[in-house]
């Protein structure tokens, strides 16, 4: 049997193990991102942290797993540029007011903060999301590789073929 066919057979046989690896890895990634949000001071209301959800779908031939979260995560990681049309974003202004309340910042500071962010944007916190995601990718790849190699060896298939 060719190495490719054996690999496909292994993946089908071990879909439950692979699902456990993926879902467990995503749960660990979720907790790591939540910890990063907290330790970096980027978790004012907790809503971004609470938005993180692991979803999965498992069939005999397919495993799908995702870590979903607020679109704000991208801005927290990479920052955001100046606002092109500041008057068109009432939701963002309400979010800013909520953030200020949570932080104990007086309402009178709203306009200067709003103007500065709209004119200049703000810097992100590098690694807040990307580091846990990179760790997930490395860990999952190694764990799945180990399952495949173990099955190859138990079936007498040389991984160097």
pTM of the model: 0.76
The CA R_g of the chain, rounded to the nearest whole Å, is 22
Q: Looking at the domain assignment, is residue 75 inside a domain?
A: no
- Encoding tokens for residue 26? 């995503």
Task: Give the pLDDT score at 160.
Answer: 57
Task: Give the pLDDT score at 135.
Answer: 96
Same domain, 109 and 31: no
Same domain, 135 and 111: no
**What is the domain extent for residue 28?**
1-70+125-161
Same domain, 34 and 113: no
Q: Looking at the domain assignment, is residue 111 inside a domain?
A: yes
Distance of alpha carbon 53 from the chain centroid: 9
**Could you give phi then psi for residue 95, rounded to 5 degrees?**
-60, -40
Owner of token pair 């046989």: 13
Same domain, 129 and 114: no
Same domain, 131 and 66: yes
Question: Which residue, 3, 60, 1, 52, is CA-closest to 29?
Answer: 52
Same domain, 142 and 105: no
Task: Give the pLDDT score at 12.
Answer: 58
Q: Looking at the domain assignment, is residue 153 inside a domain?
A: yes
Q: Looking at the domain assignment, is residue 29 inside a domain?
A: yes
Report the distance separating Cα 87 and Cα 109, nearest Å.
18
Low pLDDT (below 50) residues in the chain: 1
Question: Which residue, 85, 82, 111, 83, is CA-closest to 96?
Answer: 111
Same domain, 87 and 64: no
Number of domains, the chain: 2
Same domain, 2 and 62: yes
Same domain, 65 and 3: yes
């Amino acid at each position: 049997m060719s190495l490719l066919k054996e690999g496909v057979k292994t993946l089908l046989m071990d879909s439950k193990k692979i699902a456990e690896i993926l879902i467990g890895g995503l749960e660990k990634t979720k907790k790591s991102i939540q910890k990063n949000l907290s330790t970096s001071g980027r978790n004012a209301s907790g809503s971004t942290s609470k938005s993180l959800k692991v979803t999965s779908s498992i069939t005999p031939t397919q495993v799908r797993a995702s870590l979903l979260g607020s679109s704000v995560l991208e801005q927290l990681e990479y920052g955001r540029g100046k606002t092109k049309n500041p008057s068109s974003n009432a939701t963002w202004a309400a979010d800013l007011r909520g953030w200020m309340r949570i932080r104990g910042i007086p309402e009178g500071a709203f306009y200067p903060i709003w103007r500065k962010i709209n004119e200049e944007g703000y810097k992100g916190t590098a690694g807040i999301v990307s580091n846990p995601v990179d760790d997930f990718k490395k860990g999952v790849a190694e764990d799945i590789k180990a399952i495949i190699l173990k099955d190859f060896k138990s079936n007498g298939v040389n991984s160097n073929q």
